[in-house]
Structure 1
Amino acid sequence: MEASLSLPFRSVQPRLHQAPATSFVTCGLRNSTRRPLWRSDVLSTEAIQAVQSLKLAKSTPRLSHVLSTTLARLLKSDLLNTFAELKRQNEVDLALKVFEYVCKEEWYQTDLALRCEMIQLLGKNKMVTLAEVVFSGLLKEGIEGDTRAYAEMIGAYLTADMIEKAMQTYEKMKAAGRSPNEFTLMILIRNLEKAGERELVEFVKRDCVEYLDSPKKFLEEVERKYPKRRSVELV
């Protein structure tokens, strides 16, 4: 059973967001060691203690009390670092509760990077329904998802072997004017090949011609890193 998710969506004026730079990954859909841009290099004592307290109270009746009392004492930076550390440890239920708490804070404004991190964690744990709620929250808060947000949602579907939903989201991304980047194309090619969807693989590889500056170089890199998969020649 997936945990419930209740977020206070706020109506705000749309803002433009630049998609972050991407790179090849060596395992899974993304390198899990990549540090969020808003996370500090070193956790404060307060953040470390918060993580420990939440983990000790997990699955106990004390959790709600610990959440309200522990998180209320944290500065904004420590609160975000607590979320990031729980995500790093794959404490998905606790990270989700901290995420919900952050969204209720007075200082909170829609944080695209934070939502992408949450979608990634939920997708990794095949909690697709909750990932969809977080993704749709961007629209409810007046923010159009950027390329990374769509890519994380595509990755969530692929992790759950929901090929049709992944391709629908890919088409929605393009229709919204968000050009697929190398990371998006990489996870699609790798996972579609793994699923034996050869026609879809060829379709995505042909999209490389339209959306990448150096499509042949990109596909050569895919072939070099993953030699067991046969490349489709560009036409």
Structure 2
Amino acid sequence: MASLSLSTTRLIFLRRSPPPQQQLPCPSHGPAAPVTCGPRDNRGKLLRGRTLSTEAILAVQALKRAAAAGDEPKVHRIVSVDLGRLIKADLLAALAELQRQNEWGLALKAFAAARREPWYRTDLALYAEMVSTLARCGAPDEIDALVAGLLKAEEGWISSENTKEISRFVRALMAAEKAKLVRDVYGNLKSGGFEPDEFLFKFLIRGLRRLGEDAAAEEVERDFEVWYECGSLPMEPLPEIIYMN
């Protein structure tokens, strides 16, 4: 009887045990399609994280709202107060975001705010980005005013340590087809004792010729030959004909 009871209990236990789960083969899929979320209108989306802090995002949004409403006093207040409170990295990130969204008028105001900061030193890379933004947005007169301000008021940028930044700045002016500004910049570089390297010399020669400035290209080519043969340049500025409109 005990044997029968034990067998019955074992059968009941086995009957009540759930069947072992089978490992179903995973379906074979191709690469997952990326999911992208875009803005609901033509404005570029704001980038979070390392690019823009919350403070920078709020400042950019406030600037755009005030500009869209035509409230110039509020725009001025935001530039002088809100942007002025941002740390260096956030202010430069806000400037880059306005440039990315082609808000060139607000970007100029943010750039002016950055140049008023105690930490600011003349940065031709920032000038090059601003020139590219203005050229992309069809604002050639603002490029003239921006570069004129650089040549007149900024100091410390004519240095052999800035060769890379100077080359980038000149490339931006070439891309904007600002031949006169290229001539002016080269004249300032030459009178300031800066000597381009071979790459910048040849880039200036080709670029000026492409823009129809043969006289300026020939002068730069003569300077390049002197530099190549003697290792230095004379200090006199370019002839007056190169500065004509």
TM-score (norm 1): 0.54
Out of 145, 149, 159, the position equivalent to 2:158 is 145
Once the two structures are TM-superposed, the CA of residue 173 in structure 1 deviates from its matched residue by: 1.0
Q: What is the rounded CA distance, in whole Å, between the counterparts of 1:109 and 1:119 in structure 2? A: 19
Q: What is the rounded CA distance, in whole Å, between the counterparts of 1:155 and 1:180 in structure 2? A: 16
For the pair 1:129 / 2:145, whether they are aligned, the reply is yes
Once the two structures are TM-superposed, the CA of residue 194 in structure 1 deviates from its matched residue by: 2.1
Q: What is the rounded CA distance, in whole Å, between the counterparts of 1:158 and 1:210 in structure 2? A: 27
Paired residues of 1:138 and 1:144 also in contact (CA < 8 A) = yes
Once the two structures are TM-superposed, the CA of residue 81 in structure 1 deviates from its matched residue by: 1.5
Once the two structures are TM-superposed, the CA of residue 202 in structure 1 deviates from its matched residue by: 4.3
Paired residues of 1:79 and 1:102 also in contact (CA < 8 A) = yes
**Structure 2 vs 1, CA of residues 191 and 83 (structure 1 numbering), >3 Å: closer, same or farther?**
same
Counterpart of 2:153, as a letter, is: G
1:64 corresponds in structure 2 to 76
Name the structure, 1 or 2, with higher relative contact order (CA <8 Å, separation 6+).
1
**Structure 2 vs 1, CA of residues 80 and 65 (structure 1 numbering), >3 Å: closer, same or farther?**
same
Q: What is the DSSP-based 3-state SS (H/G/I as helix, E as strand, rest coil) of the residue aligned with 1:58? A: helix
2:176 corresponds in structure 1 to 159
More helix by share: 2
Out of 39, 44, 47, the position equivalent to 2:56 is 47
Once the two structures are TM-superposed, the CA of residue 78 in structure 1 deviates from its matched residue by: 0.9
**Structure 2 vs 1, CA of residues 193 and 181 (structure 1 numbering), >3 Å: closer, same or farther?**
same
TM-score (norm 2): 0.52
For the pair 1:171 / 2:171, whether they are aligned, the reply is no
**Structure 2 vs 1, CA of residues 92 and 51 (structure 1 numbering), >3 Å: closer, same or farther?**
same
Gap runs ≥5 in structure 2: 1-48, 230-245
Q: What is the rounded CA distance, in whole Å, between the counterparts of 1:155 and 1:210 in structure 2? A: 26
Once the two structures are TM-superposed, the CA of residue 55 in structure 1 deviates from its matched residue by: 2.0
Aligned-pair identity (%): 31
Counterpart of 2:106, as a letter, is: L
**Structure 2 vs 1, CA of residues 98 and 203 (structure 1 numbering), >3 Å: closer, same or farther?**
same
**Structure 2 vs 1, CA of residues 136 and 110 (structure 1 numbering), >3 Å: closer, same or farther?**
farther
Paired residues of 2:127 and 2:169 also in contact (CA < 8 A) = no
Out of 80, 83, 95, the position equivalent to 1:83 is 95
Query: Looking at CA atoms only, which structure, 1 or 2, has the larger radius of gyration?
Result: 2
Paired residues of 2:91 and 2:114 also in contact (CA < 8 A) = yes
Once the two structures are TM-superposed, the CA of residue 211 in structure 1 deviates from its matched residue by: 5.1
Counterpart of 2:101, as a letter, is: Q
Q: What is the DSSP-based 3-state SS (H/G/I as helix, E as strand, rest coil) of the residue aligned with 1:67? A: helix
Q: What is the rounded CA distance, in whole Å, between the counterparts of 1:133 and 1:155 in structure 2? A: 16
Q: What is the rounded CA distance, in whole Å, between the counterparts of 2:94 and 2:213 in structure 1? A: 40
Once the two structures are TM-superposed, the CA of residue 198 in structure 1 deviates from its matched residue by: 3.7
Q: What is the rounded CA distance, in whole Å, between the counterparts of 1:101 and 1:135 in structure 2? A: 18
Q: What is the rounded CA distance, in whole Å, between the counterparts of 1:149 and 1:135 in structure 2? A: 13
Q: What is the rounded CA distance, in whole Å, between the counterparts of 2:228 and 2:219 in structure 1? A: 14
**Structure 2 vs 1, CA of residues 84 and 202 (structure 1 numbering), >3 Å: closer, same or farther?**
same
